[in-house]
Structure 1
Amino acid sequence: MRILLVRPTASGGLAAHVDQELALLRAAGREVAEAPVTIRERPDPRTDAATVETLRRLLHGETVPVAVHAHGLRAGALAALGTPRRGGHLLVVTLHNRTIGSRATRAVGAALLRLLARRADVVLAVSPDLAEDARRAGARDVRHAVIPAPERSGAIPSADGAGPIESADGGRAIPPADGQPVPSAASGPSPLEVLVIARLAPQKGLEDLLDAAALLRTPGEGERPVRIRVAGDGPLQEALAARIAAEHLPVELLGRREDVPALLAASDLVVSAARWEGQPVSLQEALRAGRAIVATDAGGTRWVTGDAARLVPVGDPAALAAAIADMREETTRRRAEEASRSRARDLPGAEDLLAQLSQVLAPATVRW
């Protein structure tokens, strides 16, 4: 059965997942193509109408059924309008993100969800809340989407191996950005090195992270100071940098980094303060590296971490700070690292994604 992928204009995790799907399907010998359409983040009547017309034209010209796989809410809704009911074509939609914003924006999102839910043969959801939303909207077949972390060019080091190099102050040496040295902490106990891998955007809860950092700014007598490094870029860069400087917070913005395995090896703890997540790739990588994890119980995070992470409520900086502070204790951290290594063995891989794609895009029973 021929497969037609419909993807929105996107970057980050969604784009990486679609690239991974495309590569896996082609390597498996599937006949797969990308629809020649443009789907912007926000509604655009002209391009949206062109997308629907293009899909209709492509599918009306097919003499055999096609499996259409759309990624994202808007792509799924436009694919629902553009996929004819005649001809036995299948429509599969993967929901990657929650609609946020004003009441009007959320209302539009709900309408798009109802549209795609009533047409889609299968809806794959990256988090339990998205799955429940799809069922309430009328989707007949809703499943847990398999979202494995894409392979990086360098292997992620395991915490089973030798420890990372230490910096001059006794902390772990984070590789510097653009050749610039990373400032050392003051003399005293070595800092607890905390790594956050996140786009600098509202969804990632970085203001909550800075609130937690403020609570951790002054360690008690004999306690390890906390040093938080954030790898990623995004629209909040300037605002976050200004607040960090004004409040003298123990936080450093590293910018966009491609050396995530090295960053993980140089960290004691990985933290996510997100207000919503699908199945965060960064936490999958942290589990595979055997790092202790503190995260908010947001979206599909629990699907990824299981019982391995210390989960705290979304939007609770005090709880986040307390959980980070607990990881100063080496015994607590070592238990968390072992839990991460154990959980990593159960994470899905590329073969699991391919198995799900084969099941939903090339089912044994095809409608002719």
Structure 2
Amino acid sequence: MPQENYIIVPMDRLGVTCVQKDLVKTINIINSFISQKKDVYWLTSEAKIHTEEFPEGHFFAPGAFIVKKDTDIIEILKKGEVYFSEIVSNFKIENSIRLSKKKIALYTGKGAAEFCLNPLIEVIREMGFNYENVNDHDIRKGLLDSFDILIVPGGPDAGESYYHGLGNKGYSILKEYISSKGNYLGICAGAYLPLTSTSENNRFWLNLVDATDEQELDYWRTGTGFLRIKIIENAHPFAFGLTAGNINTLDMVYWEGPAIKPLSPKVKSLAIFDDFIASGTSTDYPRWDLLDNTPAKDAINNWYNILTRERFNKYLKNFSAVIETRINNNKILLYSPHAEFGNIGITQRKYSQVYLLISNGLFYLSF
């Protein structure tokens, strides 16, 4: 891909922040270019690029966006206070992916909890992703066929409530969709849903993914709190803009999500539960200011099932927190903790770097 007349929009990590002043606004602008069918590429491996700012060449991390420049694009980027640099030499970038507009279905039917759904809607809307709400009736009517990606958010349990809305017919349609056409992003209860049960009594999981939670539907064993995950696939697109060096961790809000155990090599563990940070117990309460992060405050203050270090060590530590698998080349990403709840104790929620797990996941599922 010749790169003259292109610009690069880096998304490099700077400690616990992004090189971009407003990460969410930057992704929104990139999505607007994609919607307009502009030439937008996603850098998928580190590249030394000669730019107007660094004519001698500068290494940019995976996750940067490369956009064919024109007067309007330059003006929009400057107005949005997006940091970018013009590429000045004619060369080829290997391992970059052209991004195109995809139709995303967000499940909002029975089983989706408002305290999980509302923050997720806020994030994907502010990032400018093209999505539509679908409920249990829509799925049973076969309306998923027109979508490329399905997002299933958190719920009040380990997946039982989805069966209440979808039933056998809805589950059959979901299995067919994920197996033959669509890509899937599941968060918390949405990550429980595709797992495989080792029990004959569990009719609430789809039994699609070669992974399980050994405690099955007993989500009560853990609770809510803040924990640290360790990224073990640093070069995977889900972690673009979040990794630098060999060891990378993220602090996240956890709310009774699955402790995922891969059952075959088909399932790749991308991150594991690494450490307990805090919960609503008197001795573990965090000492930092949660600012405007209402979901994080709710997890700490307003839930009666509290995660403890003992529970973490027994039920979560070293189990997978994020996995990927494929069925007939359709991608499935499962997040146990809540990326849509944002950072904890670093900055205002709207500037959360952990939101990259959402945007990276959706960009990755789009190609």
TM band (smaller chain): under 0.3
Higher relative contact order (Cα pairs below 8 Å, separated by 6+ residues): 2
Higher strand share: 2
Output the TM-score relative to the length of structure 1.
0.28
Larger gyration radius, structure 1 or structure 2: 1
Structure holding more helix per residue: 1
Using structure 2 for the length normalisation, give the TM-score: 0.28
